[in-house]
Amino acid sequence: MKVLLANLPWISDSEKVGLRAGSRWPHLKLKKEQLPYYPFPFFLAYAAAVLREGGHEVLIKDCIAEEMTDVEFLEYMKNESADVAVFETSTPSIGNDLMWTSKAKELGSKTVLTGPHATAKGEELLREEYVDFIITYEYEYPLLELVNALGVDGDFTEIKSLGFKEGGKPVVNGKAPLADVDEMPYPLREELPMEKYIDPFCKHAPNAQMWSSRGCPYQCTYCLEPWVFYGMRSYRARSPESVVDEMQYLVESYGAREIYFDDSSFSVDQERVRSICGEIVKRGLKVYWSCMADAKLTEETLRAMKEAGCIAIKFGVESADPRILDNINKHVNLSEVRRVVQLLKRIGIESHATYMFGLPGETRETMEKTLKFAFSLGTDTAQFSMAIPYPGTKFYEQAEREGWLKAGDWSDFTGQNPVIEYPNLSGAEIAETMHKARKRIMLKVALNPRQNIQYLKMIYGYGGAKAVLDNIIEKTSYLLKGG
């Protein structure tokens, strides 16, 4: 069977393009960036590798990273005439995704929708006449089963995680068993524009993104990871040898100078982390790397990470109010966060913290409390965003039940504007606080010569002197802009 897997074009307007596949936060970004960020489409690339290993003809297109226009992708679909078209969905892009699904159906392909929105709203999507199938949660092996069945006109009705139509009515089967992460092939990278997957958190280019584990052992109510990407109790870690094998492959095949581990938390098992570090050192693998982790890291583990090439770590803090952290089931100890940030400073690893405004229980006072904590913590950088209750999460269920949702359409869920408000806190106030925080951190970083030099070197390497000048103008304009 000839199978097309695509991260579809998602062009908002003349200035913005959407990020979907590979992102835990589907959102819009400016088309023209001096250091363009495109997340690596992990699920699509793994699915492509599994299908090819299963003997199928595979086409994979990341239309976002390749900057394909609607006209170009439509022509591509016409020329290739795939038997099966597999499109990864997200909530804010779903109107766009369904438009493309309709076109693929008109061209004669069986249509399959995957991704967060297909998992959360599968039955709803199956009511569209041009949607043949949906697959919930991680979809690589259920997709292989479906394509195998379609190739021989076989029975697909018992395939786990598959949604289909029976007598014109939607049916969604129970969740498929979790894949063995050590048995999976590497994601199919050779047909993707690897030079485009630049992670702005990294300090060296070229860089690459990879997973050392799947799923998350935690159950934060706002996060797509435990509720939508994988489902509950889904955490699986690859062996240290497997992880370092892939790191070595990225260095040797793509010249990666830095690798970002896009795991939900790289540090769940600190003994495993130290084993990975030991394997890197034993092989003499010279590559920088960075990751998302939690604040429980010990000095022993951090020193092992430093020796093995780790240069930066992200932490998800989200709020400085313990009551809000309880509300969202976020097990963060703020004293522990302060301890680990100070430890990182002593050891020489950069730190980055993420925060969200507008979580359940938020008030003007709690937002100011979070701002005060964030700027007293002393991390090298920080990220501030608005809380978005994506369908399928416990946060969405709560927001719907309590009447907090103010979005008029799924396309509002881009993170650009607030989609919730509370009786004593408006969406406009949440957005205003976020912008205030972003300006403060941008100014802090701008006044740090070392960080500026690192970042501008990355931009220069990608786009030359003009890109550096454009970046300075863009940041200055944002800082001076009101609101």
Say what the pLDDT of residue 462 is: 55
3-state helix, strand, coil in the chain (%, to 5): 40, 20, 40
- Please report, for the chain, the start and end positions of each structural domain, with discontinuous segments joined by +: 2-172, 199-447
Could you read off the pLDDT of 283-311 as tens digits, one per residue? 999 999 999 999 999 999 999 999 999 99
CA dihedral 448, 380, 301, 285 (to 10 degrees): -50
Give the burial string for 151-181 (b: 16+ CB within 10 Å, else e). Answer: eeeeebeebebbbbeeeeebebbebbebbeb
Could you read off the pLDDT of 73-109 as tens digits, one per residue? 999 999 999 999 999 999 999 999 999 999 999 999 9
CATH class, range 2-172: alpha beta
Q: Which residues pair with 214 in a beta bridge?
A: 236
Say what the pLDDT of residue 415 is: 84
Tell me what percent of the residues of the chain surpass a pLDDT of 90: 76
pLDDT band per the 50, 70, 90 thresholds, residue 228: confident
**Residue owning tokens 């998992």:** 119
Mean pLDDT of 178-204: 92
Could you read off the pLDDT of 388-401 as tens digits, one per residue? 999 999 999 999 99
Residue 468 clears pLDDT 60, i.e. is over it: no
pLDDT band per the 50, 70, 90 thresholds, residue 112: very high
Which of 431, 269, 277 minimizes the C-alpha distance to 358? Answer: 431
**Element counts in the chain: helices (H) and strands (E):** 16, 17
Say what the pLDDT of residue 269 is: 96
Residue 145 clears pLDDT 50, i.e. is over it: yes
At 2, list the tokens.
């000839």
Say what the pLDDT of residue 251 is: 98
Distance, in Å, from the CA atom of 466 to the CA atom of 483, rounded to the nearest integer, reads 28
Which of 236, 244, 338, 243 minimizes the C-alpha distance to 285? Answer: 244
Distance, in Å, from the CA atom of 437 to the CA atom of 431, rounded to the nearest integer, reads 10
Residue 14 clears pLDDT 70, i.e. is over it: no
Tell me what percent of the residues of the chain surpass a pLDDT of 70: 90
Query: Residue 185 gets which letter from DSSP?
Result: P
Mean pLDDT of 278-284: 98
Distance, in Å, from the CA atom of 150 to the CA atom of 85, rounded to the nearest integer, reads 12
Could you read off the pLDDT of 403-459 as tens digits, one per residue? 999 988 999 998 888 999 999 999 999 999 999 998 888 777 665 656 556 555 555
**Whole-Å CA distances, 439 to 435, 436, 442:** 6, 5, 5
**Residue owning tokens 């949660």:** 137
The answer to which of 4-13, 122-131, 305-314, 453-462 has the lowest mean pLDDT is 453-462
Mean pLDDT across the chain: 91
Distance, in Å, from the CA atom of 101 to the CA atom of 105, rounded to the nearest integer, reads 6
Mean pLDDT of 369-391: 94
pLDDT band per the 50, 70, 90 thresholds, residue 34: very low
Residues making up the chain, counted from first to last: 483
Say what the pLDDT of residue 407 is: 85
Residue 479 clears pLDDT 70, i.e. is over it: no
Q: Cβ(316)–Cβ(354) under 8 Å? A: yes
Residue 200 clears pLDDT 70, i.e. is over it: yes
Mean pLDDT of 234-243: 96
Say what the pLDDT of residue 482 is: 54
Say what the pLDDT of residue 89 is: 96
The sign of the dihedral angle between the CA atoms of 393, 398, 401, 407 is: negative
At 90, list the tokens.
């997200």
Say what the pLDDT of residue 19 is: 87
Kindly report the number of other CB atoms within 10 A of residue 106's CB atom.
Answer: 10
Say what the pLDDT of residue 154 is: 84
Q: What are phi and psi of 102, to 5 degrees?
A: -60, -40
Say what the pLDDT of residue 203 is: 86
Residue 477, by phi and psi: left (phi above 0), alpha (psi -120 to 50) or beta? alpha
Residue 483 clears pLDDT 70, i.e. is over it: no
Mean pLDDT of 143-154: 93
Mean pLDDT of 195-218: 90
Residue 317 clears pLDDT 50, i.e. is over it: yes
Residue 469 clears pLDDT 80, i.e. is over it: no
At 111, list the tokens.
């249509």
Query: Residue 381 gets which letter from DSSP?
Result: E
Query: Residue 410 gets which letter from DSSP?
Result: G
Residue 15 clears pLDDT 80, i.e. is over it: no
Which of 464, 458, 220 minimizes the C-alpha distance to 356? Answer: 220
Kindly report the number of other CB atoms within 10 A of residue 94's CB atom.
Answer: 27
CATH class, range 199-447: alpha beta
Residue 20 clears pLDDT 60, i.e. is over it: yes
Say what the pLDDT of residue 26 is: 86
